[in-house]
Structure 1
Amino acid sequence: MIPRLLTVTLTVALVLTAPGAAVATGDRGRPDGTPYANPVSAGFADTYADPAVIRGKDGWWYAYGTTDPLREGEGTRHLVPISRSADLVTWEYVGDAFTEDTLPAWADRERGAAVWAPDIRYVDGQYRLYVVVTQTTVTAEANDSAIGVATAPTPTGPWTATEQPVVGPRHGSGGSDDFLWTFDPSHVVGPDGTEHLFYGSYYGGIWVTPLSDDGTAAVGEPVQVTIDNKYEGAYVVRRDGWWYLFASSANCCAGPTTGYSVHVGRSRDLTGPYVDREGVPLNQSRAGGTPVLAPNGNRWVGTGHNAVVTDLGGQDWMVYHAIDRADPYLDGTDGINERPMLLDRLDWIDGWPTVRAGAWASEGREAGPVADGATGFHPGIPRGWTTWGRWVATDGTDAGRHLVSRGDAALTRAVPGRDVRVEADVRLDPGTSTVGLTTGHRGRSPRAAGLTATVDPVARALVLTAGSGRSAVRGTAALPADLDLTDWHALALTVRGGVATAELTHARLGDPLALVTLDVPRHVGGSGRAGAVATGPGAHVDNLSVLRATRPVTESVPPQQPGVLDPALGDELDGGALGPGWTTVRDPQVTVAGGVLRWPTEATDLVGTVNDAGLLLRDVPETDWVAETRLTIDLGTDTVRNFQQGGIVAYVDDDRWARLSHVAIWNTRQTEFGTEQPYAGRLPYGGTIVGPPAETTWLRLAHRTDDAGEHEVQAFTSTDGTTWVAGGVWTFPAGSDLRVGLVSHGGTGATAQFDYLRVYRPAP
């Protein structure tokens, strides 16, 4: 989505080894899927922003993108283009959700209404597509964005939009034509079956509202879950009893300097408060947010607006868009930012998600998802499966040909190992029959000893049973009272490391309706067979898979360490004056006393062509180095104080630099790592956000030179000097003569106080 124009933009964070380095994760306990290289949308589109993904009941994976032309030079916009894939890595275009004539009736065609940021769901037997409509007829004013929804019987349509918005336009405080940004919908269903919608952007923050039973209207009181002016692009999943709110920060569309990135917070309650890994809330002026994905120094910048999808081995993947810094625009050197769709592994380490264990966006060849191992039943049961009882093939509107039981029945195949994941789409005809998944199955009867996850319509429960008879161990989770089991749902049974998990969802999108976890007793071994079971007639099964469960990555890429302090390169600022080695630029008015340097913020800046900001600079080694300072600056909280800041800078000249500052951006206080660099005869600026600041914040820049000689500088922040948050990477051309220094500018009214500037060399 497109944020307000800021003199100083927004930003995000990451974790480091050498930035952009490949991650060795070892054997993850599963066969690799189709190898791929980003962008995965290259086969059908040059740009495919704000992607959302679902596996259809027909077994295909479908992706939906924001309104744009798909190819360079095309010139014609696609109103939510749709693509499909058999393996999540090779995609083909299959049409658009809307035409100019089938936009929602309340979309203002005369003002050129666009449709942005789709969120695809499958609920109550129908597909739903939640979208932003940028201009509406709900008001007579301009820029009155709203959230709409369209429904369809299949993933490709035909789509029928509702007669009214789900969330209508919301006025800001600025009078006519001033509307809060009602952008970026993300739909979730709670364990009790109630539906909710997250929405919002920088201007107004992110909110969550309850929805009507059919998901077409906001009801009740919305709750704000993030502060204004920091986050947009919400995507919410539930895991291990926590709700995780993914949200993107910074400018989505600054061409080669786009710092768009993804952060996360979590909460036990769907409506928050969401806090980051250090316990800092996302809904406060010094807002928290743990980095998940940010520019890492390779080809990709602007890595944001994500969705999450799970492959058939149980591995999560992040789908997102990014910008190739060597080809940042769809046509020429300006205009529409070219944002293709990327895919990378999403790891959960110590309860927190991060892409590729902290290495972030990939540009080389990667092992792909296990996404094409599901068995459909066209025309019937394929080889390798063993049946007990009677299954017959039948046809359905969306699922197509699938199996239905005619009594007690089982359909199994050999288990690929002790760690296994079994999945299927299931539904039940009205009655008392059950449907389930099993592994470690040693007999022919559906009730044979093993591990079985059963959807029980009488008990209204998901039941996980290990063993049989008196020695059986059971766990149950209640199903939502109004859940219609005659609709298709996704059932998964995973055994990993001696723990079994059963999960029932609408569509495998991270918001389980019921979840049961059970320690697997020793007498229930991993040998045997796995598949689907039914007790009685009328159990429907499709897209059945039995695969080795993914072995999760459990360790992050180690961050770059400071190394050995070189006292000759820094200054402890304890001598009553600046020590030797400093170069002053434009006469900064600083004082050194009591072991600190004090510098009133100047009404100056480095951004653009004015270049009137003062600088204090020092030389750094030509090899790798880390520079650090401790900054105290009182910017207050909550009030608008644009854009006072103090910080540390990597500097080549006035037109090429990267600055890490504690900065006031509207009502927020952020640590922004911004850069300016020449491009196509102009000086674009962009930033990425790191960790939350405090009145005293430690700032660190880590430099390395990659194999091609390009300089990569990554930002780190800390509020205690011990626990560090790693942020994005900005690059400088090979041969650049870098220096490091201090800055204090953006407007008068504050004083930056620096305790030292230290420079570290690599440890021997």
Structure 2
Amino acid sequence: MPPRRFLAAALAVATVAAGTTAAAAAPPPSPVTTQNPISSSFADTFADPAVIQGRDGYWYAYATSDPLVAGGPFGLMHMARTKDFGSWEYLGTVFNDSTKPAWAAPGSFFWAPDIRYFGGRYVMYFTVTDTAANPGGDPAIGVATAPTPSGPWTATDGPVVAPKPDGNGGYFGNIDPAMLTAADGKRYMYSGGFYGGISVTELSPDGLHSVGTPTQVTIGDRYEGAYVVYRDGWYYLMGSSSNCCAGPTTGYTVFAGRSKSPRGPFLDKDGASMNESRVGGTTVITQNGNKWIGTGHHAFVTDAAGQDHIVYHAIDRGTPWLTDPFGINRRPMLIDRIDWIDGWPRTRAGLGPSDTPQPAPTTGSAAGINSTDPASGIRGATRLAGDSLGGPTASLRGVAATKQAAPAGSVRVDADVRLGKSFTTVLGKGAVVASVTGNKVVVVAGRRTATAVLPADFDRSQWNKLSVQVAGTTVTVRVSDAGLGDLYAEAQLVAPGLKLDSAPVSWLGSAEVDNLTVRSVAAPVRKLAPVPQIGALLAGDEFDNGLGAAWSWVRPDANAVVADGNLSWPLQNTDLVGSGNNAGLLFHQTPAGDSWIAETKLHLDLGEYDIRNYQQAGMIAYLNDDDFARLGDVSIWRTRQTEFGRELVARADGATSFGGAAIGRQASTMWMRLAYHRNAAGEHVYQAGTSIDGTNWTWGASWALPAGTTPKLGLYAHGDQTGSNPPPVATFDYLRFYTSK
């Protein structure tokens, strides 16, 4: 229908709806809060979580096959559900020994489920660590389907993405699946890990087979745990970096890049690719110095108010092990708010994981709607019994409207729908009109119109997700599989001066509706949380006149020379990690007080792409050779990264654990900062920041050294395998200490 006729008809519907006596909007239920970890009521660990809202209104969560509780047996992936994210019910395992994939080797593990809904069924992708075809470690991606989100799950007779030979007699790390339905009408599978990188493979329309040639989208050695969402015209690829499972030194961190194509290339906010040696990535979540470390392997959910949330696992550094040290890591499930700031997803505006009560995702509906029995709140609706997937549904034919008014201002209407030939949603007495008609999604607001085309094979007879959202003056209408960042089509426009009155939501056309929610849109957070800022210069050395009395050595290195305003230090073929403990370290006196920032400028040419494990130099906060935090510019296999690593004694016999958290972009010349403060427990907390221009800083992970100690701070230059002769030279321009604003 042409826009003018379309708008006129919709306005007539809105007039009819407005002419009825609409009951006053009832106040929404009292807000629910969550407290991390949200899985504590039923599990000690719930790693690699995936989440979906089922047709029955519950939110279902799935996890990898670790034992659920300390001392428990391995499961074959786990399931739980909740209505409000505050209380949970454990549902058992996805598979048992008789239903698990027959093509998996007997000793295979099942990791990292990814849950989707399309084609009238639930589809779960997962890692099979070892197949019967090549016993010994040839990971593949499996798939299973079910009529309900709790099963029963039926695995297919082969992998959806087969093992990938590495050409050397082994196999790449083909793990951690994430599926996406994209605007081009195709389905894509992202999978892979540190060995081989993440690749994207097109899937058949039923999602059960891979087709075509994979495209690599991240370099090996950096990312695993992919998850992809579409927002505002961009595909965002997110991946977890560093070791997931190093107990109390786990530094897992999630980074993002974005692209206009689901095949990439994915670039970070500074234009750096996630698929190059000096690897890019914009921080989504990293540890902040509270009890949570190792924040990663996540999923995204969008609540009834349009607020995104990150669901992820993390490790309580006080109780890091599920089994004995160096056994299974204890990784419970956490959730936190995602804020989109300047086009990038940031957890709690950059604050990172929460350890205090937080507002739970908004569930249920306002405007007098019972989301699981929507017909009861809609005039003109017919109540249907529904099916095995959910409770009663609402059949809308002709004109229908909510019995109560929707809130004024920013509003989101979200529902599972089976669409007729034409279905129109009208908000604010006709201020916004959104229609799914024929093969198009059309939205009209004011004098502006936006249109998007549905895929040619879009099946309106199946249950899909329809969202109509007005956030300020931006109107977005999306048709998708299940509201997990996927889409079949999205129409979006900005209508200057748009204001919605409080009025019933009205509909014209035909559809069957379930899980209907009408909610005010969550107020967006648009500004990053404050980051450390330097104040007045306290102390330091510009390396103009040799090393003064403020400096001291552990294992002096005569090759470190002060000349021409620099400290030049050839990388030693040594290391501190593990039992090495033979590297030279140079320390400077630190300022008095409980808060300051140390900064250095470093030049170190590590080249690109070749293997120089693990050449590095930078700053170190040090108690002893087995208890330190090290910020370095480092070569890790083919990548060049900035890493904030931590080593500590993890077992009574003195065995140490080491892990690291990646920070920002690497370059041959870098600026580094360690922001120090002492927390309420008396611990010494150091947060790392890096820059490639000395002006724009990326602040990353924090590590805490124990209370009751006196750490040193200084410089280092080493690598346990230098990989070049002569070794490169680390050149430090200065070490300065500033007050912290």
TM-score category by the smaller chain? over 0.9
* Equivalent AA in structure 2 for residue 598 of structure 1: S
Matched, 1:437 2:425: yes
Quote how far apart the aligned CAs of 1:598 are: 1.0
Quote how far apart the aligned CAs of 1:451 are: 2.1
Matched, 1:698 2:671: yes
The answer for the alignment partner of 1:416 in structure 2 is 407
Q: Deviations over 1:387-407 (max 9, x none)?
A: 0x3523232231332011344
Ranges in structure 2 where 5+ consecutive residues have no aligned partner: 1-26
Q: Among residues 690, 700, 722, which one is paired with 1:717 in the alignment?
A: 690
Q: Among residues 734, 738, 742, which one is paired with 2:707 in the alignment?
A: 734
Matched, 1:579 2:548: yes
* Equivalent AA in structure 1 for residue 619 of structure 2: I
CA contact (8 A) 2:604 2:728 kept: yes
The answer for the alignment partner of 2:40 in structure 1 is 42
CA contact (8 A) 2:374 2:516 kept: no
Q: Deviations over 1:448-493 (max 9, x none)?
A: x34232221xx311122347xxxx6532211111000000111111
Quote how far apart the aligned CAs of 1:79 are: 1.0
* Equivalent AA in structure 2 for residue 582 of structure 1: W
CA contact (8 A) 1:645 1:661 kept: yes
How far apart are the structure 2 equivalents of 1:620 and 1:272? 45
Quote how far apart the aligned CAs of 1:511 are: 1.6
The answer for the alignment partner of 1:228 in structure 2 is 220
Partner SS state of residue 349, structure 2: helix
Quote how far apart the aligned CAs of 1:90 are: 2.1
Q: Deviations over 1:46-81 (max 9, x none)?
A: 10000011111111111110001111122x112111
Give the TM-score normalised by the residue count of structure 2. 0.92
The answer for the alignment partner of 1:516 in structure 2 is 491
The answer for the alignment partner of 2:443 in structure 1 is 464
* Equivalent AA in structure 1 for residue 501 of structure 2: S
How far apart are the structure 2 equivalents of 1:727 and 1:46? 27
Quote how far apart the aligned CAs of 1:30 are: 9.7
Quote how far apart the aligned CAs of 1:87 are: 1.2
Ranges in structure 1 where 5+ consecutive residues have no aligned partner: 1-28, 442-448
How far apart are the structure 1 equivalents of 2:30 and 2:657? 40
- Root-mean-square deviation (CA, aligned residues, Å) is 1.9
Show the 5 A alignment for 1:282-431.
Answer: 282-373=274-365, 375-376=369-370, 381-382=375-376, 385-387=377-379, 389-428=380-419
CA contact (8 A) 2:127 2:142 kept: yes
The answer for the alignment partner of 1:70 in structure 2 is 68
Q: Among residues 625, 634, 639, which one is paired with 2:596 in the alignment?
A: 625
Quote how far apart the aligned CAs of 1:498 are: 2.2
CA contact (8 A) 2:408 2:428 kept: no
Q: Deviations over 1:348-375 (max 9, x none)?
A: 1011111001110000111111123385
How far apart are the structure 2 equivalents of 1:390 and 1:92? 33
Quote how far apart the aligned CAs of 1:211 are: 0.8
Q: Among residues 100, 103, 112, which one is paired with 1:103 in the alignment?
A: 100
The answer for the alignment partner of 2:268 in structure 1 is 276
Partner SS state of residue 219, structure 1: strand
CA contact (8 A) 2:365 2:371 kept: no
Matched, 1:170 2:170: no
Q: Among residues 185, 194, 210, which one is paired with 2:186 in the alignment?
A: 194
Q: Among residues 119, 127, 133, which one is paired with 2:122 in the alignment?
A: 127
CA contact (8 A) 1:586 1:613 kept: yes
Partner SS state of residue 491, structure 2: strand
Matched, 1:531 2:513: no
How far apart are the structure 2 equivalents of 1:204 and 1:156? 33
Matched, 1:53 2:51: yes
The answer for the alignment partner of 1:8 in structure 2 is none
How far apart are the structure 2 equivalents of 1:412 and 1:239? 32
The answer for the alignment partner of 2:89 in structure 1 is 92
CA contact (8 A) 2:243 2:660 kept: yes
The answer for the alignment partner of 2:18 in structure 1 is none
CA contact (8 A) 2:373 2:514 kept: no
How far apart are the structure 1 equivalents of 2:314 and 2:496? 46
Q: Among residues 652, 668, 672, which one is paired with 2:643 in the alignment?
A: 672
* Equivalent AA in structure 2 for residue 641 of structure 1: R
Quote how far apart the aligned CAs of 1:438 are: 2.8
Q: Among residues 522, 527, 538, which one is paired with 1:550 in the alignment?
A: 522
Partner SS state of residue 286, structure 1: coil
How far apart are the structure 2 equivalents of 1:174 and 1:346? 42
CA contact (8 A) 1:619 1:738 kept: no
Give the direction of change, closer, same or farther, for the CA distance of 1:591–1:32 in structure 2 (3 Å limit).
Answer: farther
CA contact (8 A) 1:51 1:305 kept: yes
How far apart are the structure 2 equivalents of 1:148 and 1:390? 41
The answer for the alignment partner of 1:18 in structure 2 is none
Identity in percent: 47
Give the direction of change, closer, same or farther, for the CA distance of 1:216–1:639 in structure 2 (3 Å limit).
Answer: same
Give the direction of change, closer, same or farther, for the CA distance of 1:315–1:473 in structure 2 (3 Å limit).
Answer: same
* Equivalent AA in structure 2 for residue 437 of structure 1: T
Partner SS state of residue 492, structure 2: strand
The answer for the alignment partner of 2:540 in structure 1 is 570
* Equivalent AA in structure 2 for residue 545 of structure 1: T
* Equivalent AA in structure 2 for residue 719 of structure 1: I
How far apart are the structure 2 equivalents of 1:67 and 1:228? 25
How far apart are the structure 2 equivalents of 1:32 and 1:506? 30
How far apart are the structure 2 equivalents of 1:377 and 1:618? 63
* Equivalent AA in structure 1 for residue 112 of structure 2: A
CA contact (8 A) 1:66 1:118 kept: yes
CA contact (8 A) 1:32 1:368 kept: no
Relative contact order, CA 8 A, sep 6+: which one is greater?
A: 1
Matched, 1:486 2:461: yes
Count of residue pairs the alignment pairs up: 704
How far apart are the structure 1 equivalents of 2:191 and 2:619? 35
How far apart are the structure 2 equivalents of 1:378 and 1:358? 35
CA contact (8 A) 2:364 2:370 kept: no
